[in-house]
Amino acid sequence: MDIKSIGYVGVEVSPLAEWERFAKRLLACHVTHRTTPDDQKVLALRLDEKCHRLLLLEAGIEGNAFFGFELEDASALAEAKRELEAHGMAVEDATPAELALRQVGGMLHFREPAGYRLELFHSLQNDPEPFVPARPMKGFRTGDLGFGHAVLVVPDLDKSRDFYCDVLGFRVSDYLLEPNRRVFMHTNGRHHSIALSERQGFGIAHLMFEVKEFDDLGRAYDIALAEYPGAIFSTLGRHSNDHMTSFYIQTPGGFPIEYGWGGRIVDDATWTVSNVFGPSLWGHDRIGASPEARKAADVQREFALNHGITAPLYPDAGSLGS
């Protein structure tokens, strides 16, 4: 099947109260409020003209999440259903209430091998109101590249990767093998829309939002340092595979968000899969990670330093992909 992007993510969080200030002040999202038919409060975080890119649902099962993968239209959705059922997947069609919350033209959902709820949809609606970030900034890099990326914890990397690639049509970008195995996969020009981290547990390792302007990354980092210093999960740094300059911050929902700028674009015609030496060229001190994981990243960063490894910058990144 031909998945175009990850269009939206939904996460159940508790409580919502702290989220609104965080989403506006630090993330600079356009925040709107909704209520489901059964009175569940929802914060809809907008990054662009779409009615939402991240839905935060109050109560429910904390950390419970769904991931919306975009297909072209209703016929692509019907074909995808046939393909999933041919692979033995139990697929369910969206209820009217689910469609109304997501504001999509059609949706089906199923559990992938690690147990995450994936949703295939078409026609995510634009909001009738223009996108207005909560503080002055130049916006987020979305469009054909989707909302950003999601990294999920899985118990069996090979099994999960095979599902995403063989059934859903993702392509491997590269691997990180130490201190645990991670695979990065793309379905459009974004280096990875989804990545999997093999370790014990279940849940979102992080979500990534990409801003269009480098200075907007710096301003968000200023706010993180001044107003949320205890929530910084990883300091400012630059990734060795997607070349994103970013920092990570723990959200009130318990999972980190990577706030980045300047990710590279993958061209399938010339791309070759590799094992990357480590996650970062510099920075990204993982102060929120386990001591072992933090130490491993320190050693890998030292490798980059000792070998003088650098990567190109993409100063026009913000104008591409939307």
Residue with smaller CB distance to Fe ion, 109 or 243: 243
Find the binding residues for Fe ion in span 257-276 (CB under 5 A): 258
Residue with smaller CB distance to Fe ion, 29 or 208: 208
Contact 266, 314 (CB under 8 A): no
Find the binding residues for Fe ion in span 220-259 (CB under 5 A): 258
Distance in Å, CB of 145 to Fe ion, minimum:
14
Q: Give the separation between CA 107 and CA 93, rounded to whole angstroms.
A: 6
Distance in Å, CB of 40 to Fe ion, minimum:
29
Residue with smaller CB distance to Fe ion, 51 or 208: 208
Q: Convert residues 138-157 into a mask of x (bound to Fe ion by CB under 5 A) and - (unbound).
A: --------------------
Residue with smaller CB distance to Fe ion, 70 or 258: 258
Residue with smaller CB distance to Fe ion, 168 or 208: 208
The partner residues of 64 in beta bridges, in order of sequence, read none
Q: How many of the chain's residues bind Fe ion (CB under 5 A)?
A: 2
Residue with the two structure tokens 């990875």:
192
Q: Give the separation between CA 5 and CA 189, rounded to whole angstroms.
A: 10
Residue with smaller CB distance to Fe ion, 151 or 168: 151
* Amino acid identity for residue 179 in this structure: P
Pick the stretch among 88-96, 127-135, 203-211, 223-231 that binds Fe ion (CB under 5 A). Answer: 203-211
Distance in Å, CB of 216 to Fe ion, minimum:
17
Distance in Å, CB of 149 to Fe ion, minimum:
6
Distances (CA, A) of 60 to 41, 213, 284: 10, 36, 33
Pick the stretch among 9-17, 18-26, 201-209, 218-226 that binds Fe ion (CB under 5 A). Answer: 201-209
Tell me which residue of 103, 104, 54, 97 sits closest to 74, measured CA to CA: 104
The partner residues of 274 in beta bridges, in order of sequence, read 174
User: Exposure string (b/e) for 108-131, b if CB count within 10 Å is 16 or more?
Assistant: bbbebbbebebbbbbbbeebeeeb
Distance in Å, CB of 284 to Fe ion, minimum:
10
Pick the stretch among 45-53, 107-115, 200-208, 215-223 that binds Fe ion (CB under 5 A). Answer: 200-208
Q: Give the separation between CA 279 and CA 178, rounded to whole angstroms.
A: 9
Residue with smaller CB distance to Fe ion, 102 or 141: 141
Does the footprint of Fe ion cover residue 208 (CB under 5 A)? yes
Contact 160, 171 (CB under 8 A): no
Distance in Å, CB of 22 to Fe ion, minimum:
19
Tell me the three state secondary structure of residue 130: coil
Residue with smaller CB distance to Fe ion, 97 or 177: 177
Phi, then psi, of 260 in degrees rounded to 5: -135, 175
Distance in Å, CB of 77 to Fe ion, minimum:
28
Q: By CB neighbour count within 10 A (0-12 exposed, 13-18 middle, 19+ buried), where does 218 fall? A: middle
Applying CB under 5 A, which residues contact Fe ion?
Answer: 208, 258
